[in-house]
């Protein structure tokens, strides 16, 4: 039985890209207005990227915890109303740009404001909220929250250096050293926990608002943890590290559409034998937590569960890797046994073999189809898109539809190949160059796919200036933000018409 409803349309927009006054998208009023706009447009699914606290390169796929929420997403308006921060403290964020996220300016400024809010929570929060916070801590402390709080405090103590560079007693989790830290830094540890309570309190309010307005939330679960994360620090036994804590092999993918040298992600690999040995308990806990937050899950790099690309840690490019067997069906059987039917969409892009397809079909997970990878080919037909899949115009890793169609340098193709691609696109869409973004969305809506998702940038018709991420690069990504006036009445009406004309309002499901 598919996890998808019949003929729905959705949108991909990461939370950091929402509009708002304080330098980054948040879980506050702009997120509710966005849901209101989705309702007008007839879009039923909101897909976003991982929501954890970001580390190196500000990438949501390099999170400091697979459980924690990113405090930078906390809306400050409600903290002002609660007296946890003052207007003067918040005013330092008002000079930050609205059309992009300046992480280098945002992080120190907002982190200071949030630290004050966390400190004041213990002093002025009502008894009922204190009790709710204590219940939250009791529920999550042993599973992940305490380790994450220790990790964040130790990061601050070591000037944000990676845990491998900490004092050995802390890096190797000496019990006496951690016990002493828990006493000496008790206030700081409790502040981290309070901020996590506030994050998930706001998250649950937003999720309820989405549900009340007929919008389902689609989250993103990366396959790997970051090396510099609370997950790796606390559970070294589950990942492939040497005695010094360094990975001997790292994750990535071989040469592909995005990079001639492949992608060298650098994440540590799992000791799958140890995961299997305890019945995949860590994965069960991780997915159970995520299923409390979202309605659907995009499981990133699904092919890595069948076989993964292992790259020597000292390699300069991903070309030097080799395939290793993943956990296969045993993992998903254990997850289904513990959690029931899994509302998972498998990100099955890249080098996909019959074995990967067989695993996805055995699990009953819909896959993904991306028109940017298909529609420029000579033999593309919309009917080739299967019903039980999510069809995208492009993903967060692609250029925008307009940027992709008109761009040349990114694809490194010959002028003749580019001309052929454009001719094939216009043949398939039946449109014109200037309306390619609308025509590509219309084409996606016309396919048999149960769910079609387009990045908001494609609904808006933005060029490459709206691109969110360029795979294989580590700078100037994840910064784009939409402005309030871009989601205009005219845009909402045009998208609503596309949805209605293609019978994608989801009422059949």
The tokens 């996606």 sit on which residue? 444
Cβ pair 468, 396 in contact under 8 A: yes
Cα angle 149, 227, 316; round to 5 = 160
Pinpoint the alpha helices (H) of 343-467.
Answer: 354-363, 401-406, 415-429, 436-446, 456-460
Judge residue 141's burial from the number of C-beta atoms within 10 Å of its C-beta, 0-12 exposed, 13-18 middle, 19 or more buried: middle
Residue pair 34/13 in contact (Cβ under 8 Å)? The answer is yes
- What is the Cα–Cα distance from 360 to 283, expressed in whole angstroms? 18
Which of 58, 397, 439, 458 is the catalytic position? 397
Active-site residue 397, yes or no?
A: yes
DSSP H stretches of helix in 218-353: 230-234, 272-277, 281-291, 303-306, 329-339
77 catalytically annotated: no
Using DSSP's 3-state secondary structure scheme, residue 101 falls into coil
The residue ranges of DSSP E strands in 122-253, in sequence order, are 216-221, 249-253
Q: Which of 156, 205, 295, 300 is catalytic?
A: 300
DSSP H stretches of helix in 125-171: 127-140, 146-157, 168-171
HSE-CB of 193 using CA atoms within 13 angstroms = 26
Cα separations in angstroms, 474 against 48, 58, 398: 20, 9, 15
Residue among 249, 347, 348, 458 flagged as catalytic: 347
> Catalytic: 341?
no
Q: How many CB atoms lie within 10 A of CB 13?
A: 26
| 504 in Cβ contact with 447 (< 8 Å) | no
> In the chain, what is the straight-line distance between the N-terminal and C-terminal CA atoms, in Å?
13
Structure tokens at 230: 């609370």
**Which residues are identified as catalytic?**
300, 347, 397
């Amino acid at each position: 039985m598919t996890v998808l409803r019949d003929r729905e349309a959705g949108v991909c927009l990461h939370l950091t890209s929402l509009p708002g006054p304080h330098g980054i998208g948040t879980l506050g009023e702009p997120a509710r207005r966005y849901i209101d706009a989705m309702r007008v447009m007839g879009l039923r699914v909101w897909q976003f990227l991982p929501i954890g606290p970001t580390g190196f390169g500000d990438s949501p796929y390099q999170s400091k915890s697979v459980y924690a929420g990113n405090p930078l997403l906390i809306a400050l308006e409600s903290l002002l109303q609660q007296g946890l921060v003052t207007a003067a403290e918040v005013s330092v964020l008002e000079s930050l740009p609205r059309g992009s996220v300046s992480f280098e300016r945002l992080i120190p400024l907002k982190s200071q404001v949030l630290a004050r809010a966390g400190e004041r929570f213990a002093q002025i929060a009502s008894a009922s909220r204190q009790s709710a916070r204590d219940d939250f801590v009791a529920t999550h402390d042993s599973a992940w929250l305490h380790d994450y709080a220790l990790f964040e405090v130790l990061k601050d103590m070591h000037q944000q250096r990676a845990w491998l560079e900490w004092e050995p007693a802390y890096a190797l989790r000496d019990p006496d050293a951690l016990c002493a830290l828990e006493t000496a830094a008790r206030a700081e540890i409790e502040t981290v926990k309070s901020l996590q309570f506030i994050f998930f309190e706001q998250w649950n309010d937003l999720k309820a608002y989405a549900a009340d307005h007929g919008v389902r939330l689609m989250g993103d679960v990366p396959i790997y943890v970051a090396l510099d994360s609370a997950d790796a620090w606390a559970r070294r036994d589950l990942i492939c590290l040497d005695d010094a804590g360094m990975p001997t092999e790292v994750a990535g993918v071989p040469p592909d559409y995005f990079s001639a040298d492949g992608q060298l992600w650098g994440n540590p690999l799992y000791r799958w034998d140890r995961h299997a040995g305890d019945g995949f308990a860590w994965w069960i806990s991780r997915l159970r937590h995520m299923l409390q937050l979202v309605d659907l899950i995009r499981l990133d790099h699904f092919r890595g569960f069948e076989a993964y690309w292992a790259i020597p840690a000292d390699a300069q490019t991903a070309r030097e890797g080799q395939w290793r067997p993943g956990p296969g069906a045993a993992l998903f059987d254990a997850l289904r046994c513990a959690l029931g039917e899994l509302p998972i969409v498998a990100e099955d892009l890249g080098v996909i073999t019959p074995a990967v397809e067989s695993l996805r079909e055995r699990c009953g997970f819909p896959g993904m189809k991306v028109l940017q990878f298909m529609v420029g080919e000579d033999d593309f037909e919309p009917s080739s898109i299967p019903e039980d899949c999510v069809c995208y115009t492009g993903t967060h890793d692609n250029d925008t539809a307009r940027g992709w169609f008109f761009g040349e340098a990114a694809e490194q193709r010959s002028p003749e190949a580019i001309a052929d691609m454009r001719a094939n696109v216009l043949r398939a869409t039946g449109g014109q160059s200037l309306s390619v973004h609308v025509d590509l969305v219309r084409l996606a809506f016309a396919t048999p796919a149960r769910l079609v998702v387009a990045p908001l940038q494609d609904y808006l018709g933005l060029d490459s200036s709206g691109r969110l991420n360029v795979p294989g690069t580590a700078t100037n990504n994840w910064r784009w933000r939409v402005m309030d006036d871009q989601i205009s009445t005219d845009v909402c009406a045009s998208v609503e018409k596309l949805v209605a004309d293609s019978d994608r309002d989801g009422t059949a499901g």
